[in-house]
Structure 1
């Protein structure tokens, strides 16, 4: 494997962020064995940038989803990098190509996959959860999840293509957003990306809600028509003042909060769409009467269309219709992992990117 950095290969080790013990925290940043030679359909990727995701925070807090993990595991699944080596069965990639990584590895053979719904395959495996992920200088992944990245997309933006794909997926589902009024609830990184995606895909007006000043300020920079601080102002009254009794055509929730869902239901027009992306931290009690009488279309969304969403996302980023660079609040080394996770948990950041091989250009 002569293409790997000499020092790494000579030592056979690399620095990585791992979840090593169950429970809150439980991270280590230490030397681990470097990946071995790529074989079969596997691809060795030299990581340029890797972002902290909400799933990584769930792993840090040891939420229910994390309990499927076999510890220790290198975490991280929002990854961009350069192909370092390919296995003998890899056909579409070669060393030196830049890639962004899809985080869902579907089985490809179950009923769901064969119906064209591989993004919700019940047997999906995830890097950083079911096998070692990208908070390390190198990661080994199947060729099937490697998406070639054109030179117009920077390494930092390429590392955000996986979460950006969620926003594009939410904007393309159902009736789409073109010519429609859209309400985005929850302005974490993906909600902010959804503002940009909805605008680029032709939404008429985009309204955003959150309770954190940092996120609301970021929403304004992403081109939203109106920001609503849901802690202080009525979302419903703001929507009515802008759009009258018509309300919004599409509401997309990233918050997973019962209070937010109630406000969204009030704000959606009769026959409109509610698209659910946020994962509630606990069970939510709902009164479905208003949902039924309004004739709402409710869509539960997960992941990205494989790979229609990636095609659209690539076009939006490559031609400059969407620029995600302003969402990067911190660029950090792997050794700063503990501080980075605490910043993310305490709402003191937008998107935090690790740069395992040094700062990206």
Structure 2
């Protein structure tokens, strides 16, 4: 079968071995798979990514970052066949999504970061029957494929210590930032300020419900805190509380992942703010802890999602609570994936590209 293989830090469309489902597995046909920012980074820096993950205790020794890998972990697929001993709860032809992890006799394979099993940039995949979820309510395939990235936003919001009247600031409106905005609004939180230099991304943030959308080249988003009733200095906050006033804890979501961003947020954030770090910075960064201590800034680092958050996100997409109908800006075949990686380097060219094998 055909697949896009990362080989020698290049993407090559090639033939790979056919798949046979083992016990507890289902063979699926990939219908659509999103290109993630982590895929873009892994193309050229996979070895560094895996080294950092292993040092953090998050990746086993069975993955060789220099060997062939088929990316793709944001997918919607169709069941073709079941392995022996399967419950066969979902019949062939059923459209499904899944957490991108497959249980095998040798352990768990993380789809998109595995040498043994291909991810969604392939015509077919092997999934675990116990992890697949049927796509409900006739949700279109291109929208169902966004379950995984939007579950990332749901997890970031779940980790935020938001009060009922908290104001939130989302820095960076790429796919992660957009998922955070959607999760905030789906949970009834607001106002939500969104900031990005890209007009296209700011427009997407507005469509997903951001209450205030700001171009940081024109205005600092931090200038809005006072207007939202959040004093920035600790002394001013104390006066408000002494006079019987209140304000919700300000929460900032860092969704950029570039060096220097975290320190700039520590400097600009209101005292007592929580900064939820969802952007994945792969480089050594520098912060000044004394400043964060003086302002009592809380830093929370987040990754991935739980199975419950994944399922809840699928339900919200299918019920229209989160509307992603205009988020996909391009669809490519396997032969066009390499060019799509290049195109995604320009935030004005695309918001989200899907691969349709």
TM-score (norm 1): 0.82
Q: How does 1:301-316 map to 2 (within 5 A)?
A: 301-305=302-306, 307-316=307-316
* Secondary structure of 1:184 counterpart: strand
Q: What secondary structure is seen at the aligned counterpart in 2 of 1:251? A: strand
Q: Residue 352 of structure 1 aligns to a residue in which SS?
A: strand
Check conservation: 1:177, 1:198, Cα contact below 8 A: no
| Superposed CA offset, 1:90-140 (max 9, x none) | 334432222112124589xxxxxxxxxxxxxxx964212113111122111
Where does residue 68 of structure 2 map in the other structure? Answer: 72
Distance 1:34 1:178, change over 3 A: farther
CA distance, structure 2, for counterparts of residue 239 and residue 252 of structure 1: 14
SS of corresponding position for 2:252: strand
Secondary structure of the 1:99 match is strand
> Any idea what the Cα deviations from partners look like across 1:172-204, whole Å, max 9, x if unmatched?
224247542111111111211211211111112
Equivalent position SS for 2:28? strand
Confirm or deny: 8 A CA contact 1:236 1:264 kept in the other structure.
Answer: no
Cα RMSD after superposing both structures = 2.4
Asked if 2 retains the 8 angstrom alpha-carbon contact of 1:276 and 1:300, the reply is yes
The 8 Å contact of residues 157 and 325 in structure 1, kept in 2 or not, is answered as yes
Task: Report which stretch shifted further, 46-55 or 266-275.
Answer: 266-275
Structure 1, unmatched stretches of 5+, are: 1-13, 108-122, 357-361
Distance in 1, Cα, partners of 2:304 & 2:86: 25
Q: Which residue of 2 aligns with 1:19?
A: 6
Q: Does 1:49 align with 2:32?
A: yes
Aligned to 1:293: 294
TM-score, L = length of structure 2? 0.83
- Report how far residue 309 of structure 1 moved: 0.3
Contact 1:239 1:267 (8 Å CA) reproduced = no
Instruction: Provide the C-alpha distance between the structure 2 equivalents of 1:290 and 1:160, rounded to a whole number of angstroms.
Output: 38
- Aligned partners of 1:127 and 1:133 also within 8 Å: yes
Mean alpha-carbon deviation: is it higher for 146-155 or for 236-245?
236-245
* Secondary structure at 2:75 match in 1: strand
Moved over 6 A (4+): none
User: What is the aligned partner in structure 1 of residue 277 from structure 2?
Assistant: 276
* Gap regions ≥5 residues in structure 2: 52-63, 233-247
Shift of 1:266: 4.4
3-state SS in 2 of match to 1:44: strand
Residue 171 of structure 1 and its aligned partner are, at CA, apart by: 1.2
Specify whether residues 105 and 162 from structure 1 end up closer, same or farther in structure 2 by C-alpha distance, changes over 3 A only.
Answer: same
Q: How many angstroms apart in 1 are the aligned matches of 2:184 and 2:84?
A: 41
Query: Counterparts of 1:148-297 in structure 2 under 5 Å?
Result: 148-176=134-162, 178-245=164-231, 249-297=250-298
Q: Indicate conservation of the 8 Å contact 2:272/2:296, yes or no.
A: yes
Aligned to 2:83: 87
Aligned residues: 323
Q: Distance in 2 between matches of 1:34 and 1:310?
A: 29
1:177, 1:202 within 8 Å by CA — same for their partners in 2?
no
- What is the alpha-carbon distance in structure 1 between the residues aligned to residue 270 and residue 159 of structure 2? 17
Question: For 1:345, what is the secondary structure of its paired residue?
Answer: coil
**2:99 aligned with 1:102:** yes
1:70 shift after superposition:
5.0
Give the conservation status (yes or no) of the 8 Å contact 1:183–1:206. yes
1:326–1:66 Cα change, 3 Å: farther
Structure 2 counterpart of 1:33, from 8, 13, 17? 17
CA contact (8 A) 1:236 1:263 kept: no
In the alignment, the residues of structure 2 paired with residue 314 and residue 327 of structure 1 have an alpha-carbon distance, to the nearest angstrom, of 16
State the 1:211 CA deviation.
2.0
CA contact under 8 A between 1:45 and 1:84: conserved in structure 2?
yes
Residue 160 of structure 1, CA deviation: 0.8
